[in-house]
């Protein structure tokens, strides 16, 4: 059984029953915190010196488009219409599945490096099942905890195609994921739906998407 002792850190536990800011030790056994307090090290413990460090639960990023990791910083002064045009109708259309995989892997790893252990990935550049699977592959490989929200691509419609606001969530894809690799809610990576909602879709699509989400919740 692996034991890790984090020593001498300023512990912020987020539990109302505990005093925040005490310098304490934390014992981890089998990847779970088993004790917090004045714990003496033993020979079978791996020791981590947390002196002058703050020790707290992992942070949560509740809204990130991880596929855009390689595009950080380019849209800081864009308006929403500029973003929709340049990102969704432009740059997004060039992404191949392997690009999505690399972006999600590096993006999730960068979150872990910053102390963010859980992220909600609003993935709206998944025009094919291969894009979706590659995005999920990157999240799994990173080791982060992630809620993968299956979204909707927003390219310019080709002749004869509907505008994205008129396109409902792909039921077949959601069924495939929910009955396959994202069937359980107990895994590190779980499934959700990034529905367009009433802001970005017509009423019929909004209703259909909500019913689909309710069906597979």
| 91-149 per-position pLDDT tens digit | 999 999 999 999 999 999 999 999 999 999 999 999 999 999 999 999 999 999 999 99
Q: Which CATH class is domain 59-215?
A: alpha beta
Would you say the CATH fold of 59-215 matches that of 3-55? Answer: no
Residues counted in the chain: 217
Q: What percent of the chain has pLDDT over 70?
A: 100
Average pLDDT over residues 9-35: 89
- The DSSP annotation for the chain comes to --EEEEEEEEE----TTS-TTEEEEEEEETTEEEEEES----TTEEEEE-TT-EE-PPEEEEEE-GGGGGGTTTTTT--HHHHIIIIITTGGGG--HHHHHHHHHHHHHHHHHTTEEEEEEEE---SSHHHHHHHHHHHHHHT-EEEEEE----PPPPTTPPPGGG----HHHHHHHHHTTT--SSSSEEEEE---HHHHS-HHHHHHHHHHHHHT-
The per-residue pLDDT for 15 is 82
d(C-alpha 40, C-alpha 181), whole Å: 42
The whole-angstrom distance between residue 159's C-alpha and the CA centroid of its chain comes to: 34
Confidence of residue 75 (pLDDT cuts 50, 70, 90): very high
The per-residue pLDDT for 204 is 97
Domain boundary assignment for the chain: 3-55, 59-215
Q: What is the pLDDT of residues 167-197, one digit of tens each?
A: 999 999 999 999 999 999 999 999 999 999 9
In terms of Cβ atoms closer than 10 Å to its own Cβ (0-12, 13-18, 19+), residue 213 is middle
Residue environment code for 120-153, b if the CB has 16+ CB neighbours within 10 A, otherwise e: bbbbbbbeeeebbbbbbbbbbebebbbbbbbbbb
Q: Under 8 Å CB-to-CB from 150, ≥6 apart: which residues? A: 123, 126, 132, 169, 173, 174, 177, 191, 192, 193, 194
When the candidates are 3.30.450.40, 2.30.40.10, 1.10.10.10, 3.30.300.130, the CATH number that belongs to 3-55 is 2.30.40.10
d(C-alpha 99, C-alpha 200), whole Å: 26
Q: What is the pLDDT of residues 136-172, one digit of tens each?
A: 999 999 999 999 999 999 999 999 999 999 999 999 9
């Amino acid at each position: 059984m692996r034991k890790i002792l984090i020593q001498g850190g300023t512990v912020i536990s987020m539990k109302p029953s505990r005093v925040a800011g005490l310098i304490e030790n934390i014992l981890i056994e089998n990847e779970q915190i088993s004790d917090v307090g004045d714990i003496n090290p033993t020979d079978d413990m791996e020791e981590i010196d947390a002196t002058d460090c703050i020790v707290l639960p992992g942070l949560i990023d509740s809204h990130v488009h991880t596929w855009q990791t390689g595009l950080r910083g380019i849209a800081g002064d864009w308006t929403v219409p500029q973003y929709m045009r340049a990102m969704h109708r432009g740059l997004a259309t060039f992404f191949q599945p392997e690009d999505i995989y690399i972006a999600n892997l590096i993006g999730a790893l960068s979150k872990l490096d910053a102390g963010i252990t859980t992220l909600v990935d609003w993935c709206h550049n998944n025009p094919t099942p291969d894009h979706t699977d590659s995005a999920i592959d990157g999240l799994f490989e990173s080791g982060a905890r992630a809620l993968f929200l299956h979204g909707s691509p927003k390219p310019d419609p080709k002749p004869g195609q509907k505008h994205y606001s008129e396109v409902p969530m792909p039921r077949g894809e959601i069924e495939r994921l929910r009955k396959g690799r994202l069937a359980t809610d107990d895994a590190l990576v779980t499934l959700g739906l990034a529905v367009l909602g009433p802001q970005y879709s017509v009423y019929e699509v909004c209703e259909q998407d909500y019913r689909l989400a309710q069906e597979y919740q």
